[in-house]
Structure 1
Amino acid sequence: MALYDWLTFYQKHYQPVGLLTGRFYSKTGEPTDTLLQAEASLAEGQRIKAQSEAEKLHFPPCNSQWSTAERGRVWCTNKSGGVERSWTGVPRKFYSPGSTGVRCVCVEDPSAADEDPNLQKYDGCSPHADSCLVET
């Protein structure tokens, strides 16, 4: 995505003066297969980024606090994760499809963890609590 941001910046601020024959353009100025593959990869990256942003609005990140001396804590507010909303939510573990990691998200409906296989309640935490102590 950094490449896309760089390309967008240069297209916005600089006037094109020609094409460089080689890896991305043929002698006749036609795009090469390499350029077409790169553009397809950028489009896929844009799609994934948009999907991630939509997911963040639906499942905003939790606030978290960690200490080596004590257990950690995750909690939700109506502004946690930098996503302002009308609801507070409850913390849940979120397993993103295609990822090996887990992250804490705020879920508006406490029963959602029962219905969504990607969501899991925190052990030892009330299903309706907006704050949970967690093992580090």
Structure 2
Amino acid sequence: MYSLKEYEDKVLDALKPLLRENGGYLKALKGYAGELASEEALTKFFVNQFPSVLVKVSSAEYEYADQECTRETVMVDLLIVSQSYRDQSEARGGDKGAYTILKDGMGKLKEKTFGLSIRPLKPVRAWELYSTPQVVFWAA
């Protein structure tokens, strides 16, 4: 078995090409550290950080087949935030909108094993967390 930190780090590494400094469009990509816990934390982090992806391991389940074999199912969430000064439809569907980030992120992760002895990653679901007239928060 791998540590939950190893899974998070592998996902972050896979998404690094989407960072602006690597030729992509994301301003921030990091492990989740409570940025969505309060309006103050949210404002502090995201003031100039659009678009961004935060990564966190949200759950792990273990199924023991025998003493030597354990099936581990780990859920890694992408917390996506996008903004448009025009309107919410642009924040959702624009070039750097939430839908584009979801598609590009899934493209970097789907069916990958990252060199680990694991089953290939599979997306499970995506949903809107919250939105304002200009800002959209999604999770996957």
Q: Into which bin does the TM-score normalised by the smaller protein fall?
A: under 0.3
Whichever of the two has the greater Rg, that structure is: 1
TM-score for both structures, normalised by structure 1: 0.26
TM-score scaled by structure 2?
0.25
Which structure carries more strand by proportion?
2
